[in-house]
């Protein structure tokens, strides 16, 4: 009986996304009032044009009759409404497992213990990260990139996007086999993570292509960071998976393209396309090099300082 009561005391309210970019993410409801909406300042931000800036709120209240804590969902009069279990509501006391629909997103209201919360975090990690390298998946990268573009625009900050592709990677698989190819990708993911800062984001786009965005970085700083990644990979002895020669290594190189926000574009998708265009220019010019989407001005070259490292 005491064990059951202890488990009940450990239950905490959370919203779990069942659809959209943040699928499986548990959002703890730690404040007395939690705002849901599209605004950057919302406690639970839902990036959906069908969602109002301030769409709804969840308020923690004490039922004076039962002395039980309740969680009340209130719609702010949003144009597209708020739904609980398929029914449009103005105000509703949430029950464990209720499904809330806001715009095209579905969230479940859950009372989770620590085991449940850790399980949800692990599920989200499996969905949002590449299982080989541990980097973000391309879908999660675009989600983070869109959020960063919105924050940077609001705060008047700059950031840069890197697109990266291993040179002649097919030769690695053909020469050493696919196990070595997979191990090479895994090691490259680790090298990229070690070269970027806390807060930056790196992803595997699939195959031998990688991407990153660097916070608070001007174009010249991003070129320096990209050159650091390029040189680290070029110098690294990559493992060869071969029982007959356990200490054998091989080398690969990488080509990198760079674009900058907002100078090149303020649209996150266009920034990726620009960095990709610069990447293929680096390929055409001989590979194993860094290319910016546009030529740097003398002032940018003179500010060629490494980005801040946390």
**CA distance between the termini of the chain:** 48
Q: Which residues are catalytic?
A: 208
Q: Give the whole-angstrom CA distance, residue 238 versus residue 249.
A: 5
The answer to whether 71 and 59 are in contact (CB under 8 A) is yes
């Amino acid at each position: 009986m005491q064990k059951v009561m202890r488990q009940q005391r450990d239950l905490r309210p959370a919203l779990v996304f069942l659809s959209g970019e943040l699928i499986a993410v548990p959002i703890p409801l730690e404040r007395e009032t939690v705002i849901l909406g599209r605004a950057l300042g919302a406690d639970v931000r839902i990036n959906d044009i069908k969602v109002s800036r301030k769409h709804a709120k969840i308020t923690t209240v004490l039922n004076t009759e039962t002395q039980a804590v309740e969680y009340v969902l209130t719609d702010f009069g949003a144009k597209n409404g708020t739904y609980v279990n398929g029914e449009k509501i103005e105000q509703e006391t949430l029950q464990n497992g209720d499904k809330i629909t806001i715009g095209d997103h579905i969230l479940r209201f859950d009372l989770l213990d620590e085991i449940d919360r850790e399980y949800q975090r692990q599920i989200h990690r499996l969905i949002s990260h590449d299982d080989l390298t541990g980097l973000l998946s391309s879908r999660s990268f675009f989600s983070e990139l869109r959020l960063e573009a919105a924050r940077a625009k609001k705060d008047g900050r700059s950031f840069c996007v890197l697109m990266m592709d291993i040179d002649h990677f097919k030769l690695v698989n053909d020469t050493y086999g696919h196990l070595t190819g997979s191990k090479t990708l895994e090691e490259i993911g680790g090298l990229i993570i070690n070269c970027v800062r806390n807060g930056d984001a790196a992803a595997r786009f699939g195959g031998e292509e990688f991407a990153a965005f660097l916070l608070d970085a001007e174009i010249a700083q991003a070129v320096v960071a990209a050159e650091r990644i390029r040189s680290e990979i070029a110098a690294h002895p990559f493992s060869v998976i071969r029982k007959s020669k356990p200490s054998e290594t091989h080398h690969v190189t990488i080509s990198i393209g760079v674009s900058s926000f907002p100078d090149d574009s303020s649209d996150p998708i266009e920034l990726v396309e620009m960095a990709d265009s610069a990447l293929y220019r680096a390929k055409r010019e001989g590979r194993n090099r860094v290319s910016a989407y546009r030529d740097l001005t003398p002032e940018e070259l003179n500010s060629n300082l490494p980005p801040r490292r946390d």
